[in-house]
Structure 1
Amino acid sequence: MPVFRRVGRPGLVGLAARTAVVAGTASAVSGSMARSQQARAQQEAQAHAFEAQQQQAQMDAAAAAAAQQLAAQQAAAAAAAPAPPPQAAAGGVDIVAELQKLGQLKEAGLLSDDEFSAAKAKLLG
């Protein structure tokens, strides 16, 4: 019995084999691309996290330096603060303290301008 061979297009088995090869190649390529994209995205996320960590460290260092500078300024201001006014001698009147009290009473609205001027003149005179 003679064997007939087809010339031209492949048969059903050849077509199925070709389809399987094409599908397998496409699947392998898409899997490789997905892994590549995932690795690239992971690297970018790590880079962003590193940058954020570096920025946070810089901000923390700047805050610590500002706190040290503020503490130094406060210490300098405390050292340069004027000494309290001298106390009056026993039996005398502390004029500065009395003037401050009068100023507070005037600011509180308990003394008018005329009353304040009269009391000040009495203390100074």
Structure 2
Amino acid sequence: MPMRRFGRPGLIGLAARTAVVAGTASAVGGAMSRNQQQRAQGQYEQQQYEAAQQQAQIDAAAQNAAAQYAAAPAPAAAAPPAAAAPDDMVAKLQQLAALKDSGVLSQEEFVAAKQKLLS
């Protein structure tokens, strides 16, 4: 029977023990790295999904607003300023005459509006 040696291991034993420790550390480090990458990929996919949901909500709101805008009547044109050019004065007098002819304004209202416009 060979005698077993006690005490410090030999060079081969030390190299074997170092290889086992290094291999274990490498395997554990690789597993941790894969887990971190998988977790990061999952978070990225979740963020992309949430961003897509928000974009879909924004698109839907924009379509609703566009539909409401298209269905709404056009706003009335703003009245021109009181100190208008002579062409505007003629246009206003013609509008007043058209309102009188259509029956919206009476003769008295037409005369009063015309005096106010000319003064």
TM range (shorter): 0.5 to 0.7
Question: Aligned pair in 2 of structure 1 residues 4, 36: CA closer, same or farther (>3 Å)?
Answer: same
Q: Structure 2 vs 1, CA of residues 98 and 71 (structure 1 numbering), >3 Å: closer, same or farther?
A: closer
119 and 31 in structure 1: CA distance in 2 versus 1, 3 angstrom threshold: closer
Q: Give TM-score, length-normalised by structure 1.
A: 0.58
**In structure 2, what is the Cα distance between the partners aligned to 1:118 and 1:67?**
42
For structure 1, the 5+ residue unaligned runs are 79-93, 100-116
Structure 2 distance, partners of 1:62, 1:118, is 48
Amino acid at match of 2:72: Q
Q: Please identify, of 3-12 and 66-75, the stretch whose mean Cα deviation from structure 2 is larger.
A: 3-12
RMSD (Å), alpha carbons: 3.0
Aligned to 1:97: 94
Change (3 A) 1:43 1:120: same
Aligned counterpart, 1:11 = 10
In structure 1, the partner of 2:23 is 24
Tell me what 2:64 maps to. Answer: 65
Provide the aligned length of Structure 1 versus Structure 2: 87
Quick one: which amino acid aligns to residue 29 of structure 1? V
Identity %: 57
